[in-house]
Amino acid sequence: MALPTLTGVGRLTADPELRFTPSSKAVASIPLAFNSRRLNQQTQQWEDGDVLYVRGTVWERLAENAAETLEKGMEVVVTGELRTESWEKDGVKHERTALLIRSIAPSLAFATAKVTKATPGASGPQQGGQARGQSQQGRPPTSRPAQPPADDPWAVDAAKGYSEPPF
């Protein structure tokens, strides 16, 4: 049976925490809160409803991009599979709902974003840009000009005579 898929809008309750497995795969924990707000027709005031707190997990390139882009308080649009994490600590069994995130992005309802295409190997801890396990929080993003692949039809190249995507 397939895991249930969740697509929703939530808020980060803390900055993403980027770590690396012993085999050097990036993994980030992203704590999320999903809540419902409704307008009380009698008082004309917004009221918060129930809140679902979920620990999200992202892997590899998405983990690195999320840790560099997202921060506490941001509203995000997220899609992933719900699952149950189980563990035992001091003889006591624990369980919690978790979200294996497949896609996450800032919501543009209350913010703007500038999107840059990430190129494989252009940045990140594997190239020595930062020590393994060290957080990228609080660092301004480094600006490196992205070089599109030679066969990228969306690339903009004034030297070749076109300055807009071909559509």
Q: At which residue do the structure tokens 């969306």 appear?
A: 154
On the question of pLDDT at 135 being above 80, the answer is no
Class of domain 5-136: mainly beta
Identify which of 15, 92, 19, 97 has the alpha carbon closest to the alpha carbon of residue 51: 97
- 151 — pLDDT class (breaks 50, 70, 90): low
pLDDT digits over 31-81, tens only?
999 988 788 889 888 888 888 899 999 999 999 999 999 999 999 999 999
Q: Output the CA angle 146-147-153, nearest 5 degrees.
A: 115
On the question of pLDDT at 12 being above 70, the answer is yes
Domain ranges of the chain: 5-136
- Give me the pLDDT at residue 85, please: 87
Contacts of 133-141 with CB under 8 Å at 24 or more apart are: 133/18, 133/19, 133/20, 135/15, 135/17, 135/18, 135/67, 136/18, 136/67, 136/68, 137/15, 137/67, 137/71, 141/68
- Give me the pLDDT at residue 127, please: 36
**Which of 74-88, 91-105, 119-133 is least confident?**
119-133
- Give me the pLDDT at residue 102, please: 94
Q: What is the mean pLDDT of residues 5-13?
A: 91
- 19 — pLDDT class (breaks 50, 70, 90): very high
